Structure 1
Amino acid sequence: MAAGLGAAVGMEREFGSQPAGLRTHMLVALGAALFTLAGVGPAHTDPTRVAAQVVTGIGFLGGGAIFKEGVNVRGLTTAASLWVTAAIGLAVGLRAWEAAVLTTVLALSVLWLVKQAEHLYLPLRRNLMVTVTIKHGSRLDVVERQVLDALPRARVLRIAYAEHEQLIELAAQPAKSVSLPQLAEELRLLPDVEGVDLTR
């Protein structure tokens, strides 16, 4: 049962191409359930102590799913889903079947339904990474001003000089009505801009 409930959460993460997917969530739930069963076995170990150790251990595993991508931090939701999956496994080990199933349903609702609601009703929170390649010898301050005019909600992260090119890297939150190809073309048409790279 623990493996099945963990698989339900893991499938949602798998469809989202997250670093921890189906097998990871199944193993987390299965391991948590087994630790709990061992804690209430013949040795009469206190199951709450076992649960505390599982929670601590899953923190290290969840930390491995979190990584920094530019100015964005990815994997927080997957780390949280691993934590919840461990709790589901603990509940199964304690034979709290209804709590385990209900938590799985609620977790899937948060991961999928709330995600859809975020896309529809909440403003875009993740930054768009913008790298603008500038013709060598151009005035960076002028080009920077033009780029910031095109991206009002942006901030410059780095300005790099190379032998044959100059780069400006920015973190931006463009309007939802503007598609990435439109934005790239708008920036590309700015004077002295040679190339544009956009990364979500």
Structure 2
Amino acid sequence: MAFGQILLAAVLGAVVGVERELGAQPAGLRTHMLVSLGAALFTLAGAGLPHTDPTRVAAQVVTGIGFLGGGAIFKEGVTVRGLTTAASLWVTASIGLAVGLRAWQAAVAVTALTVAVLWLVKQAERHFLQLRRNLVLCVALKNGVSLDEVEHEMLRVLPRAKVLRVTYAEHEQVIEVTARPPTTASLPQLAEALRRLPGVAGVNVSG
């Protein structure tokens, strides 16, 4: 029975890991399989010892997975990435724990719901919520261009833009702003409109 539980934990962890792998996330197939396997084995080992409370073992697993999830989170400019992957590792650990405690139906149901949240909800966000997200734009200026002049022109394209940071390099200066995109333009159209502004050398847009 223990071998079957470990095998099921690996399979369920792999189901979540495949979705992360296809999305080119920092933690993919192998990481999620190992997290689920480890959580299941810790639970099985704890449950097999006399006078041992499996919930205490589960609490230690949850604490340990926090360090692993923290490694998947990193800051890129003004945005924080990896939170969803860290959450998927946390959920995968709970799936392994459930398998170790023989809560088969709960483990399978949570696996299915996790994949649904990671993939189906992601598709819904792209189609219905994309226009509500703030964008982060890095606008590189040409040499000798007035920063105030470009900022004034930029506000015509993005009326509610907020300047986050201005970076001065040897040969260029970059304005980093955040703004909610207009509903009348796609991201490529928005980037092209900004690139055509007087004094703008290049534009980098991220959601």
Native 8 Å contact 1:153 1:174 kept in 2 = no
Corresponding pairs, count: 200
**2:59 partner letter:** A
Q: How does 1:146-161 map to 2 (within 5 A)?
A: 146-161=153-168
**1:94 partner letter:** L
Q: Does 1:22 align with 2:29?
A: yes
Deviation of the 1:169 alpha carbon: 1.6
In structure 2, do the counterparts of structure 1 residues 6 and 164 end up closer, same or farther at CA, with 3 Å as the change threshold?
Answer: closer
Native 8 Å contact 1:72 1:126 kept in 2 = no
Q: Does 1:61 align with 2:68?
A: yes
Q: Where in structure 2 are there 5+ consecutive unaligned residues?
A: 1-7
Native 8 Å contact 1:72 1:127 kept in 2 = no
CA distance in structure 2 between the partners assigned to 1:190 and 1:20 by the alignment: 40
CA distance in structure 2 between the partners assigned to 1:101 and 1:146 by the alignment: 54
CA distance in structure 2 between the partners assigned to 1:97 and 1:185 by the alignment: 52
**2:95 partner letter:** I
TM-score relative to the length of structure 1: 0.91
Cα RMSD, aligned residues only: 1.9
Deviation of the 1:86 alpha carbon: 0.6
Deviation of the 1:158 alpha carbon: 1.5
CA distance in structure 2 between the partners assigned to 1:130 and 1:100 by the alignment: 41
CA distance in structure 1 between the partners assigned to 2:205 and 2:129 by the alignment: 22
CA distances 1:20-52 after superposition (whole Å, capped 9, x unpaired): 111111000100000000111144421111000
CA distance in structure 2 between the partners assigned to 1:199 and 1:36 by the alignment: 42
TM-score relative to the length of structure 2: 0.88
Q: How does 1:1-200 map to 2 (within 5 A)?
A: 1-124=8-131, 126-175=133-182, 177-200=184-207
Native 8 Å contact 2:137 2:176 kept in 1 = yes
| Greater helix proportion | 2
CA distance in structure 1 between the partners assigned to 2:151 and 2:49 by the alignment: 70
Native 8 Å contact 1:131 1:168 kept in 2 = yes
126-135 or 34-43, larger mean C-alpha shift: 126-135
Native 8 Å contact 1:161 1:167 kept in 2 = yes
Deviation of the 1:176 alpha carbon: 5.2
Native 8 Å contact 2:137 2:177 kept in 1 = yes
* SS at structure 2 position matched to 1:84: helix
Native 8 Å contact 2:141 2:173 kept in 1 = yes
CA distance in structure 2 between the partners assigned to 1:119 and 1:86 by the alignment: 28
CA distance in structure 1 between the partners assigned to 2:110 and 2:172 by the alignment: 54
CA distance in structure 1 between the partners assigned to 2:53 and 2:161 by the alignment: 53
Native 8 Å contact 2:158 2:182 kept in 1 = no
Percentage of matched positions with identical amino acids: 72
In structure 2, do the counterparts of structure 1 residues 176 and 66 end up closer, same or farther at CA, with 3 Å as the change threshold?
Answer: farther
